Structure 1
Amino acid sequence: MDFSLQQNYLNRRHFIALAAVLASSGIYHRVAAAAAAQPERTTLLVLGDSLSAEYGLKRGTGWVALLEQKLQAEKIKAEVVNASISGDTSSGGRARLPALLAQHQPKLVVIELGSNDALRGLPLDMTRDNLLAMTRLAQQHGAKVLLLGMQVPPNYGRDYTQRFARMYVEVAKTTRSALVPFFLKGIADVPDSMAWFQADRIHPREEAHPRLLANVWPAIKKELQ
């Protein structure tokens, strides 16, 4: 017999013998059961703009980074993918989402978009359509969706301000997705609000990001459970 064939034959015999020993001792079944009992790791995708992309902050101090720490502290096996880009609009997020869903296959998608649409004066109907499309696409891929609602300052006019805030509620209701009504609650709607913002008066300071996490954590924890 050729030496290599003989060696392969012996290796197969040793493997079969080892498998038989493991099976008879019950070790194989215990290992298989332990592997099956391990919870599947969940991927959480954050699709946002500068509020989630740590604009003007030290790396690792934004609310998404704090979320990763919170998940570890709560012993929740979840990987966080932060796909946020400063300056992104709802149209940009809609264009990027299909590839992100295919690549990461998330179980939960957090959508934090729309503020830059308002800053650029884009039509509300377009923003609403984009949010609807992103939410439905994520759901079609088997993911839950959490929308982070935003509000605009009163100088935009009462009608526009109300319609903008209501837009998130309508999208969440239509798609039966989860909603945080106002992502910047406790930061932008308090008497000393400017103390929580950077010099541009748009982006929250590092000290504000624990509050942002506190606003979204109950909803995220509920959706992951």
Structure 2
Amino acid sequence: MNRSPLLFLYLIAVSFLVSCSGEKKEDATSKPDSVATTAKKPAAKKKTIVFFGNSLTAGYGLDDPSKAFAGLIQKRIDSLGLNYKVINAGVSGETTSGGNSRIDWLLKQPLDVFILELGGNDGLRGIPVSETKKNLQAILDKVHAKYPDAKLVLAGMQIPPNMGQQYASEFRAVYADIAAKNDLTLIPFLLEGVGGEAKLNLPDGIHPTEEGHKIVAENVWEKIQGLL
């Protein structure tokens, strides 16, 4: 019997099986690529907003500090789906001098927006306006040197006239002067609509109630929403 035709058919069959095997292997190796292209991208890292201040920022006198204006800003940000997290770096009793000493430690963590709320305790203690101004500028200089792209915001403060009209006037002017010098965002008076309103403040007449903080949060939001 002549085996040449059978041998020829056998070789064709083997060649066909090898070809099919190669195609299957190629399909198998291409599958992970298709899966990878449809995988979800990791969520973008949240940017950081730091509120650096005293008892007003810290929410002194409130049962829940998250109901202070900084916490209310976080809730507004979350409701709008903005990719920011708020850090409340308020310390009750803080002066501008204390803040200038504390800021170096805080700057160990990155930040994108820095909101400076200090000076009120300086005014209540009658600290020279020149000293307050120097410390506020020093804080801003340190933040800018470490994070030059960070957006800076200054919360303006006012004090009662019982410290003297001249002192109160010079104190109020400090914030506008610094804002102009540094070309930063100014909240003219943090406690606008709250300061001096008994029903919106705790019995000490200085620290806002929960309702007062809602108004303060609006004062802040009006000025920072365009930065976010």
TM-score with structure 1 setting the length = 0.82
Report the AA paired with residue 174 of structure 2. Answer: M
- SS of the equivalent of 1:133 reads helix
| Residue 145 (str. 1) matches residue 152 (str. 2) | yes
- SS of the equivalent of 1:102 reads coil
Partner of 2:99: 93
Partner of 2:32: 22
Partner of 2:60: 55
How far apart are residue 154 of structure 1 and its match?
1.6
How far apart are residue 149 of structure 1 and its match?
0.2
- SS of the equivalent of 1:71 reads helix
Unaligned stretches of 5+ residues in structure 1: 1-17
- SS of the equivalent of 1:83 reads strand
**What is the CA RMSD across the aligned residues, in angstroms?**
1.9
- SS of the equivalent of 1:72 reads helix
Distance 2:227 2:92 in 1: 26
How far apart are residue 51 of structure 1 and its match?
0.6
Percent identity between the two aligned chains: 34
How far apart are residue 29 of structure 1 and its match?
4.2
TM-score with structure 2 setting the length = 0.81
Unaligned stretches of 5+ residues in structure 2: 1-27
Partner of 1:70: 76
Distance 2:151 2:104 in 1: 15
Distance 1:62 1:68 in 2: 10
Partner of 2:226: 222
- SS of the equivalent of 2:137 reads helix
| Larger radius of gyration between Structure 1 and Structure 2 | 2
Q: Assess if the C-alpha contact under 8 Å between 1:136 and 1:175 holds in 2.
A: no
- Structure 1 residues 137 and 20: CA distance shift in structure 2, 3 A: farther
Partner of 1:134: 139
Distance 2:59 2:37 in 1: 47
| Residue 196 (str. 1) matches residue 200 (str. 2) | yes
How far apart are residue 194 of structure 1 and its match?
1.7
- SS of the equivalent of 2:63 reads coil
4+ residue segments displaced more than 6 Å: none
- The one of 180, 187, 192 equivalent to 1:185 is 192
